Amino acid sequence: MNKTRSIVIASLLAGVGFMSCNSGNMRRNPGKIYAPDMTYSRAYDAYTSNPNFADGQTSRVPISGAIALGHDLPDHLVEGDTNAYKSFTTSYRFNEAELKEGGRLYMIYCGICHGTALDGNGPLYASGKFPAMPANFKDAKYLGMPMGTMYAAIKYGKNLMGSYAGQLDVKQRWQVIAYIKKMQSENGGTPFTLGATSGEAATPVVAVADSAATVREDKHK
């Protein structure tokens, strides 16, 4: 009985050993291949060498001017282009939920300085820990500030205020601006009515309305 059992175990182990050797061998040399295209890529795989390019690499940098999927055209404006930014606007149109999200983002990124009430007296400034008075969005000076100027402030920063381009993508920047503009309209700023632009009944409720020419801008920093 014991002998039989050890023979069975020994042959099982041998079998396992044989199979693993065999499969190891299979990996190195598949022998006949049923569908070679599935084993060997006909395309050059990323990170493999490529004889077609001088540098021998398959992965290429995108051609200049390429726009990543889902991103908009670049705005072609540069830092300090104050006049151009004055008339800069967006084709984004926000519904109520997106506008609310703009408010949430404002509270996270801007409220600490500009204040939850948008009065420039956020906790960081009020506590005396920040040396410069943040813009008081309820002040006449800022009530009529063009959206594009606000956009430039978010993208590049303004004096002691740093850039928020790294924290907010293009859409989010406009969402925050839409929120500020809406709050301003309730505090003496230019009227801001949801759904105000012409002929867009079918699209979501409009939060950002501006008479200036519509310029598409990018999500690149």
Q: Does 118 bind ligand HEC (CB under 6 A)?
A: no
Nearest to 103, CA basis, from 162, 186, 217: 186
Closest approach of ligand HEC to the CB of residue 34, in Å = 58
Q: Does 164 bind ligand HEC (CB under 6 A)?
A: yes
Is the CB of 158 or the CB of 220 nearer to ligand HEC?
A: 158
Closest approach of ligand HEC to the CB of residue 209, in Å = 18
Chain positions 129 to 158 lying near ligand HEC, rule: CB under 6 A, are 130, 132, 134-135, 149-150, 153-154, 158
Is the CB of 145 or the CB of 206 nearer to ligand HEC?
A: 145
Which structure tokens are listed for 106?
């404002």
Nearest to 209, CA basis, from 218, 219, 190: 190
Query: Residues 121, 136: contact at Cβ < 8 Å?
Result: yes
Closest approach of ligand HEC to the CB of residue 194, in Å = 20
Q: Does 187 bind ligand HEC (CB under 6 A)?
A: no
The DSSP secondary structure of 6-35, one letter per residue, reads: HHHHHHHHHHHHHHHHHHHHHHH---S-S-
Nearest to 155, CA basis, from 133, 177, 132: 177
**Alpha-carbon span 165 to 153, nearest angstrom:** 10
Q: Does 208 bind ligand HEC (CB under 6 A)?
A: no
Give the side-chain half-sphere CA count within 13 A for 79.
10
Is the CB of 169 or the CB of 218 nearer to ligand HEC?
A: 169
What does residue 161 show for φ and ψ, rounded to 5 degrees?
-85, 130
* Number of residues this chain uses to bind ligand HEC (CB under 6 A): 20
Give the side-chain half-sphere CA count within 13 A for 140.
0
Is the CB of 67 or the CB of 132 nearer to ligand HEC?
A: 132
Chain positions 56 to 115 lying near ligand HEC, rule: CB under 6 A, are 109-110, 112-114
Q: State the residues that interact with ligand HEC by CB under 6 A.
A: 109-110, 112-114, 124, 130, 132, 134-135, 149-150, 153-154, 158-161, 164, 176
